[in-house]
Amino acid sequence: MKSYLSFLCSITYISLLSGLLTTVHAADQPNILILLGDDIDKSSLGPWGGQAHTPHLDQLARDGVRLDCVYANVAMCAPFRQEFYSGQCAWRTGAMPNHSKSVAGTKSLPHYLQPLGYHVGLLGKKHIGPRDSYPFDDLGDLPKDRDANKDAVIRAEAYIQKAIRTETPFCLVVASNDGHGPYTHGDRSRYPAATIQTPHDALGTSQYKQQLGAHLAEVTNLDDLLGKLRKILQDENVTQNTLIIFCSEQGNAFPFSKWTCFESGLTSGMIAVLPEVIPAGTVKKNMTWIADVAPTLLDAAGGNTAAWTFDGTSQWGNLTGGKTDIHHYAYGAFTNCNILDNKTRNYPIRSIRDDRYTLIWSPQHQDITSNVTLTQALDWINHKNNDRYPDVAASWVQKLYDDPQPHIKTLVHRLHHRPEWALYDRRNDPHELDNLAASDSHKKVFERLQKALHTWLNRWNDSNPVATENAFIQK
């Protein structure tokens, strides 16, 4: 009997101790490891059914939560990253054009997390500024002309080990160049052109398939880096208390993604993992803004989000099992200003989307839109007998000359010409090709979204995007 009582006491003690340890563990500030891709379309990634080989990312999705409806304000690198780090929209930071910087006084992750004791470092691609607004521990850039994974692992490991030695939580952003052209590394043999699938809003020319295959090779290289970074956490015995965030950035640099307000441009692939805190193998379809990331991380770290100016809202409750719809709309913008080859072309675009519909406004619809990836295509349209080897978009024009089918003509026209208003039903038209703006049956949807978009733009003194763009050009 005495032995049995001793056994019960032992079990009770172990249970109490286990509960205490669990409580203490849950109260610990998590380390944070963020891996950012560069110009990677969400739909190309394994967790979303894409054709890229991403075994480590697939495993990450099984270990945590996959976010299916994440939207940026602007589908360009500098605006995207400043929204991500600051938690503020592009209208507030002023970082809307390509290669732009935030207005003075903008705050970001180092300001939010350092007072809580965090080391906050950035390794790799920057495209942010000014320095006072983004005072990360600068771990240096990563080479663009070769596989940089070895460099990234060495420097990331050193930073993590330093934080562990000083018993300090870390927030480390590893910002890879993988996915951004020109595509110079990764195993291209895994993506022969004959195997590349062509989406419905693209033309499968040889140039398109070759370039997309090269891009996907870099995506797989990024996936390999994810595996190596997770191995560091495992080796350092900090896996259980490290929040991992993977983000693909905005869409790729192929037509109708980056530099647009289409779904494939503004949507982002994101996965979050924190063992025993974020439920494994879950999927969230509630709307999330890129501006939500910073307040979410601050919330996860135990900080007070109300003490800072955010346009985004913490999604920590949703990541950890909640089901609250925080946003009803996501807003988007595009400006040609500061894009190579077209720095002074005034062609602003604004957009709004809800959980089903997208409304896109192009105030300068009577003119042409373009960017560096479309410049040669425009030259081919204007000068049919072009003697340059066509790039991806120009190869579409060449295909139209050889095979003038209606579908091809529509896609080539769409490269540079957009209607003033375009309404798309993403549920039935995921590639946003069928404009319903003039549809009587969608009149109420159109008017509701139009009103909400104008309300948002008026709030930020952007009711006249053409004037907004002129101001950017004058700077």
What is the helix (H) or strand (E) element at residue 170, kind and residue range? strand 170-175
Distance CA 327, CA 333 (A): 17
Q: What is the pLDDT of residue 475?
A: 67
* Percent helix / strand / coil, the chain, rounded to 5: 40, 15, 45
> Which domains can be identified in the chain, with CATH numbers?
28-327 (3.40.720.10), 333-474 (3.30.1120.10)
Q: What is the pTM of this model?
A: 0.93
* Residues in the chain with pLDDT values less than 50: 1-27
Within 28-138, strands assigned E span 31-36, 65-71, 119-124, 137-138
DSSP code string of 214-225: HHHHHHHHHHHH
Note the residue count of the chain.
475
- The SS3 call for residue 341 is coil
Distance CA 293, CA 387 (A): 47
Long-range contacts for 236-240 (Cβ within 8 Å, ≥24 apart)?
Answer: 236/160, 236/161, 236/164, 238/31, 238/160, 238/164, 239/275, 240/25, 240/275, 240/276
Alpha helices in 28-97 (DSSP H): 55-63, 77-86, 90-93
Q: What is the pLDDT of residue 387?
A: 78
For the beta carbon of residue 143, count every other beta carbon within 10 angstroms: 13
Q: What is the pLDDT of residue 11?
A: 39
Show the tokens assigned to 70: 């994440």
Bridge partners, 423 (sequence order): 359
Distance CA 358, CA 71 (A): 12
Q: Are 169 and 109 in contact (CB under 8 A)?
A: no
Long-range contacts for 21-28 (Cβ within 8 Å, ≥24 apart)?
Answer: 25/240, 25/241, 25/276, 26/276, 26/277, 28/241
Sign of CA dihedral 150, 156, 159, 162: negative
Distance CA 12, CA 47 (A): 42
Q: Does residue 130 have a cis bond before it (omega within 30 degrees)? A: yes
Round the average pLDDT of the chain to a whole number and report it: 93
Give φ, ψ of 286 to 5 degrees. Answer: -70, 145
Show the tokens assigned to 379: 């030259």
- Tens of pLDDT along 93-129? 999 999 999 999 999 999 999 999 999 999 999 999 9
Bridge partners, 245 (sequence order): 34, 272
For the beta carbon of residue 376, count every other beta carbon within 10 angstroms: 20
